[in-house]
Structure formats: structure tokens, C-alpha cells
Amino acid sequence: MAEQRPVQRRPTLADVAAAAGVSRATASRAMSGGPNVSPAARERVWAAVERLGFEPNHLARSLRRGSTMAIGLLVPDVAIAFYARALKGAQETLERSGYHVLVMNTERAADREAAALRTLRAHQVDGVILATSGGYRDIGVPAVFFDNVPLDIGAGAVALCNEEGIGLLVDHLVDVHGHERIAYLGPPAAVMPGEVVSTHRSGRERLDGFRAAMGRAGLALPPEYVRTSDARLTDTVATALTTELLALDRAPTAIVAGADTLTLGVLEALHEQRVRVPDDIAVVSFDEPTHAGLLDPPVTSLDRHDRQLGCRAAELLLAALGGGDGGTTESAIERVPLELRVRRSCGCPVG
């Protein structure tokens, strides 16, 4: 409306400087709130910024400063509620410190993870947070792991109390409901050919936790009661494995599912086979499936404070970046506790 500029070009710092009648250096200093700028100059610069609708070019700034204020976030799949919530927690924390977040999906494939890391490096991210699927390699910036943690934990790691969590589930089945034939269906726990050793740490911990809890309870654990899914935790694989469990001579009376997608697969199989939960078989779940309370039946599971996991990972990274305070300097794996949410699938007469 007012003056029509010859070009639609976005205003640059030079435009602002010209409009304010100062040098680019002074304009820059005024904008960044740095010292050594006269109040008068500062005011003219701000006025020009306002008038021109100037917004500094992040690219140029990052290139010059050597820091992008960007953090890469690698997850297997944002469409999985757990990762989506953890992501939001991390994002919120990071944005509060002026960082922004680049999200990449790895689809639980090590090579896609490696490719994503390369991309992130090309974009000069200042750090990464990742739920690794085994494709991690150092890209020269601090890395914080969450959910699944490799042997070398980099700048920090946040994981769940996997063993204790499974223990809570088993103990409940045994102590409250008197189950003796309990099967386990969890994430892979062994090293797959061609994979990095670290990948299945949390799967291993959960399985160890299961064995330990069964041992403590003095219960027999036939090998056919222990099943592990594919690396992608595909629900249809869980459905197939559950069907196998049901076909056993002495079928289990309870199933502990070691991850939320697996739980849904288990329920799917049970629905298909018209096996009633919890009447015919009890089901408990390591993670909370989305809307666990509205499922048929409501699923007893472990609440793992997804958001908090993301927040905490972000805080550790901020600490590593020298910004925030990670709360701790020792680089041990930090464990987030789990809480048992009793619903109906275990046999309790709740909700």
C-alpha cells in the first residue's frame, strides 16, 4: 500500500542498516542486544526492523556463528504414540532454550538411521537425541540416547527401568491373581546378524527381568513360553506368535507383552480366536498403548511417563551443550521409573 518496493526481496540486515543510517555491524549489535550501542542508534535500528519486517536469516547467522541451534531427533516412527509424546517433551524443553528440532523417522532400520545421521550432519545440527535402532555413528556432536541405549552411551542416556517394570507386571499376575503359567512376548533380545551389539539392550533387559521375576516367584518357565518379535515390533508378528502360544499343549494362562505394539497384536490374536480377556487368559503390557483404558478390555500396563523421558533426554543434551543444567554430570544411564496401572485385562475388577 504505502511505498511499493521495486523487488519483493526479503529485507536483509543491510536494508535495516541503511534505513537506520548505521553500519551493518552496529545494526547487528543493536539487534542482538549487545553492548556498545548508543540508545539513539538502538532505537533507530529497532524502528527500521519493525518497519521493514526484518527477520535475520538463520542460515547466514548459523554459518557465521558455527552453531545452528538445531537438534536432530531420531525415532523409529513418530506415528507410534510413545515416540510422539517423547518427541513433544523433548521439543518443548529444547525450544524453551532457543533450539529447534529436526525430526527424522528411521523405521527401525539401521541403515536408515545412518542415512538420517548423515543428513543431520550436513545440516550442522548442534546435537542429536535418538532412540537408536542400531545405526548410530558419531557425527561429531553430542548424542543423547533414550529408550534404547547402546553400550557407549555418548553424552548421556535415559532409559526405562526395564527389569523392574517387567517385575511389577509378573508380580501382579502372581501375587494378586495366582497365575503360574505365564508367557512372555517381547522385543528381540539377542544380537541379530549384521547388527550392532547395542541394539537390543532394552529387549534383553526386559527378558532378563521376566526370567528373574519368574525365578523369584519359583515358577517354571518352559522355553516355549518365551517369544521374541521381529526388530520392528510389528503387531502382526505378535499376532502370529500369540496364536502359537495358544496352540501349545499347556497353553499359558497369562501373557506379558513387552511393548505396546506387541500388546495390540496380542489382543488382535485373542479377538480373532474368540479367547476372552481376562476370563480365558490374562494380558499385561509393558508400555501403555494409546487409550489403554478404552480398549477391550482396558489393558493393565506400565505408565512410563513418555513426555518426561523426552524432557529428560533434552535436558541431558542441553547440559552436554554447555547450556542448561543436566542435573548430573556423571554419564551413567539415567533410569525413569515405571508405574503399574491396573485395569481389567489382568483380571482385576476395575474400571
- Give the residue, chosen from 105, 198, 234, 236, that forms a contact with its own copies under the rule CB under 8 A: 105
Q: How many CB atoms lie within 10 A of CB 177?
A: 16
Is residue 323 involved in binding DNA (CB under 7 A)?
Answer: no
123 sits near its own copies (criterion: CB under 8 A): yes
Residue whose cell numbers read 547440559:
319
Q: Residue 177 is placed in which grid cell?
A: 491373581
Q: State which residue, 85 or 201, has the beta carbon closest to its own copies.
A: 85
Q: Measure the CA–CA gap between 68 and 121, rounded to whole angstroms.
A: 11
Instruction: Describe the strand order of the beta sheet including 339-341 as a list of residue ranges.
Output: 226-228, 182-186, 254-257, 282-285, 300-303, 339-341
CB nearer to DNA: give 52 or 217: 52
Count residues contacting DNA (CB under 7 A)? 31
Q: Is 31 in the site for its own copies (CB under 8 A)?
A: no
Residue 203 or 289 having the CB closest to its own copies: 289
Burial grade of 156 (CB within 10 A; 0-12, 13-18, 19 or more): buried
Q: Provide the terminal-to-terminal Cα distance of the chain, rounded to the nearest Å.
A: 62
**Region from 53-61, 90-98, 267-275, 335-343 binding DNA, contact rule CB under 7 A:** 53-61
Q: Within positions 32 to 51, which residues make up the interface with DNA, using CB under 7 A?
A: 32, 34-41
What is the identity of the amino acid at 27? A
Residue with cell 491396573: 342
Min CB(121)–its own copies separation in Å: 6
Q: Answer yes or no whether residue 81 interacts with its own copies by CB under 8 A.
A: yes
**What is the residue-wise DSSP string for 181-200?**
-EEEEES--SPPTTS-GGGG
Binders of its own copies in range 182-221 (CB under 8 A): none
Positions touching its own copies (CB under 8 A) are 8, 10, 55-60, 62-63, 68, 77-79, 81, 84-85, 87-88, 91, 100-105, 118-119, 121-124, 140, 264, 267-268, 271, 289-291, 293-298, 351
